[in-house]
Amino acid sequence: MLEQQLLNALTLGSVYALFALGFTLVFGVLAVINLSHGAIFMVGSYAALWLVSHLDAPLWLAMLGAMLLSGTLGLLVDVLILKPLRARNAPHLTPMIATIGVGIMLTSAAQGMFGAEVLRFPEETLPAGEFIVGGVHVRALEIAIVAIAFILMAVLFTALKRTQLGRALRAIAESPKAASLLGINVEGLFHVTSFVAAALGGIAGVLIGLDFNAITPQMGQPMLHKGLAVIILGGMGDIRGALIGGLFLGFAEVISKAYLSSQMGDAVAFGLLFLILLVRPSGLFGRVLERKA
Amino acid sequence: MEWFNDFWSTYSTLVFSVGVHALLALSIWLTLSCGLLSLANAAFMGIGAYVSALLTLQLGWSFPLVLLTGGIAPAVVALLIGAPVLRLSGVYLAMATLAFGEVVRITVLNLEITGGPEGLNGIPLETEGWHIAALLALTIYGLARLRRSKVGRAFEAIKEDEVAARLMGINVDRYKLLAFTLGSFIAGVAGALNAHFTFFISPREYGFEAAVDILTMAVLGGISSLIGPLLGSSIITLLPELLRSLHDYRSFVNGAVLVLVVLFLPKGLWDPRRFRKWFGKAKGAEA
C-alpha cells in the first residue's frame, strides 16, 4: 500500500516540480512573481484536449502544441505587460498585480469557451497498459508522466549549466544591469525565459490533466498556490530548490491524504508555505538576501 | 416616493454591497498606506463574518455587540500572526498573507461548527442601510483624521522608505502591526455586516478571488487619497450589474480592468496630481 502511495507521490511531485521550475525561473531571471502561471497551466491542458479531440492529433503532438501555445501566451504577457512595466521602473509589486489580472482573464475566457464543467480526455487517447511491479500497479501513463517531467527538467538543467544561453541567464539573475553591460541581450533573454517558463507550465497542465483526467477552468488556482509553496520551500529563484521542493510537496500531500484526511492534503501545502515563511523565508536551500538600501 | 421604493426593493442589496465593499477597500487602503501588500483581508472578513454569524445564531447576542466582536476577532488574529508575518516584506508578505488566507479558508471548510462547505444558513437579517452608512462614515472620518495625525505621517514615512523611517526614530514594527490590525478590524466589521444581510455565508466567498477583488478595488481607485478606494469599490461592485449581458465573461472584464489600470493608470483613477495637470493652469498642462 505504501509503495502505491509513493508512486502516486512521485508522479504528482514530478509535475509539481516541473510547474514550479517555470515559476521560479521567471522569478530568478525577471524578478517577477508571475501569478498568471496557474492560468497558463490550465490553458495548456485545454489546448492539448482541444487538439486531441477536435483535430485528432496524437498525444505527443498535442503536448507540443500545448507547450507552444502556453509559451506564446507567456511571451505575450512579457512583451505586452511586463516590458512596459520594466521600462517604467514600476515598483516590484506592480507586475504581480498585473499578472493576477491576466490570470483572471484567462480563467474567465476558458470558462466562456469551454464551460465550467469538467472535461476529460477520450479514453482511447490515453496510453493504456498497466504493469504490476512488486505488487504495485504501475500505469503506463504514470511512467510517461514521470519520464516527460524528468527529461524536460534534465534538459533545462543542462541548458542552464552548460550552454552560453544558460550562462547569460545566470548572469542576468545576478544582476540585469551588469549583464547588459557585458553585452548580453537582456530584453531578448527575458522574452526567452518567459516563453520557456510558460511552456513548462503548459506541459505540466497537460500532465496533470492526463493524470487526473479532469480539466476545469479553475484547475490553475490550487496549482498556483502549490507552485508558490514549492518555490518558497525551495528558495525563490532557486532551480534545484524547485525540483526538490516539488517532489517534497508531492510526498507530503499524498502521505497526509492517505494517513490524515483528504481535505488536509490541501492544507499541507499552505501550512508548509506559511511555516517556511515564518521560520526561514529564504527557503530551505536559499541564500539570505540583504536588502539593498 | 414610489419610484424610490421600487428602486430600493430592487437594488437595496446592491447598495448594501457597495457600502460593504467600500469598507473592505478602505481596510486594504490602510495597510497599503503603510506600504504593506497584505492579501489577508478577505480572510479577516471571513473570520468576522463567521464569528458574528455564529454569535447571532448560537448565542443570540445583540447586533451591536456582534458587530464589535466581528471586528475584534480578526484583530486578535492579526495581532497574533502580525509579529512574525510583518517581518516579511514585499512579495514575501503577499505570499505569506495569501497562504494565511488559504489556511483560514480550508480550516473553515473542515470545521463542524462552521457548517463545512455548505456554510451557514439562515442568518437573520439584522443589517440596515443606516448601519452600513453610519459605520462607513465613521470609518472615513476616522481614517481621514488618522491620515493627518502623527500615526498617518508615520505610515507614509514607512511606505516611502522603511530604512529612513527607522532612522528617524519611527517604531516601524509597531506602526506596521497597528496598520495590519486596524485593517483587519475594519474588514471583520465589513464581514459581520455582510453576513447579516446575505442570509448565507460559505467559505468560497472568502478565498483568493475575494482577496484579489478587494485589492482590485483599491488599485483601480488609487490609494493616494481616501476617495480612491471608495470610487474603486463602487465601480467594481456596479460593473458586473452593468455587464449582465456578458455573463460568462464578466470576470474577464475585472481582470482586464486590473491589467489596464496597472499599465495605464499606475496611480489609479483618482489621482489628484493628474487632475491638476489636466484641469489646472495652462502652464501646468504644458509641463
Quick one: what percent of chain B has pLDDT higher than 70? 96
Q: How far is A129 from chain B (nearest CA, A)?
A: 37
Band (pLDDT 50/70/90 cuts) for residue B287 is: very low
Nearest to B97 by CA among A71, A242, A93: A93
Range name among B24-28, B30-34, B100-104 with the lowest pLDDT average: B100-104
| Interchain proximity A264–B110, CB inside 8 Å | yes
Q: In terms of pLDDT, which residue wins out, A56 or A77?
A: A77
**Per-residue pLDDT at B185 exceeds 90:** yes
d(CA A105, CA A159): 33
Q: Which three cell numbers stand for residue A194?
A: 518567459
| pLDDT of A291 above 50 | no
User: B123 vs chain A: nearest CA distance in angstroms?
Assistant: 26
Least confident residue range of A14-18, A226-230, A278-282, B73-77: A278-282
Residue B175, pLDDT score: 93
Nearest Cα of chain A lies from the Cα of B165 at a distance, in angstroms, of 12
Least confident of A69-83, A112-126, A192-206: A112-126
User: CB of B10 within 8 A of CB of B241?
Assistant: no
User: Are A28 and A242 within 8 A, CB to CB?
Assistant: no
Phi, psi of A132, deg, nearest 5: -115, 110
C-alpha cell at position B46: 471571513
Is pLDDT at A119 greater than 80 in this prediction? yes
CB within 8 Å: B84 and A278:
yes
A122 touches chain B (CB under 8 A): no
Confidence at residue A265, expressed as pLDDT on a 0 to 100 scale: 67
Q: Do B96 and A274 touch (CB under 8 A)?
A: yes
**Choosing among B34, B160, B166, B208, which should be mutated to test the A contact, i.e. which has the most A CBs within 10 A?**
B208
Nearest to A206 by CA among A16, A3, A46: A46
pLDDT confidence of residue B266: 82
pLDDT at A123 over 80: no
Q: Which residue has the higher pLDDT, A265 or B266?
A: B266
Inspect the interface and report whether the beta carbons of B215 and A97 lie closer than 8 Å: yes
A44 phi/psi in degrees, rounded to 5: -55, -45
- What are the domain boundaries of chain A? 10-112+133-218
Q: How many CB pairs under 8 A join A and B?
A: 121
The secondary element (H helix, E strand) that includes residue A131 is strand A130-133
- Is pLDDT larger for residue B38 or for residue B248? B38
* Statement: residue A42 has pLDDT above 90: yes
A103 to chain B: which residues are within 8 Å by CB? Answer: 255
Topology of the domain covering B11-286: ABC transporter involved in vitamin B12 uptake, BtuC (1.10.3470)
Residues of B with CB under 8 A from a CB of A: 37, 84-85, 87-92, 94-96, 98-100, 102-103, 106-107, 109-110, 163, 208, 212, 215-216, 219, 248-252, 254-259, 262-263, 266
The larger pLDDT score, comparing residue B83 to residue B43, is at B43
Domain ranges of chain B: 11-286
**Residue B281: pLDDT over 80:** no
At residue A212, does pLDDT exceed 60? yes
ipTM summary value: 0.82
Q: Per-residue pLDDT averaged across A191-218, rounded?
A: 91
Higher pLDDT, A116 or A126: A116
Q: Å from B52 to nearest chain A CA?
A: 25
The pLDDT value recorded for residue A281 is: 66
Q: Are A49 and A218 in contact (CB under 8 A)?
A: no
Task: Kindly report, residue by residue over B129-157, the tens digit of the pLDDT.
Answer: 888 888 999 999 999 999 999 999 999 99
* pLDDT surpassing 50 at residue B286: no
Q: Which residues of B touch A102 (CB under 8 A)?
A: 255, 259
Query: A interface mutation test: which of B31, B112, B263 has the most A CBs within 10 A?
Result: B263
Residue corresponding to grid cell 510537496: A249
The pLDDT score that the predictor gives to residue A287 is 55
Contact at CB, A84 and B106, closer than 8 angstroms: no
Distance from CA of B124 to the nearest CA of A (A): 30
Other residues' Cβ atoms within 10 Å of the Cβ of residue B95: 26
C-alpha cell at B215: 485589492
C-alpha to C-alpha distance for B219 and B215, rounded to whole angstroms: 6
Banded pLDDT at A66 (limits 50, 70, 90): very high
Q: Residue A96: which of B84, B89, B91 has the nearest Cβ?
A: B91
B96, A33: Cβ pair inside 8 Å?
no
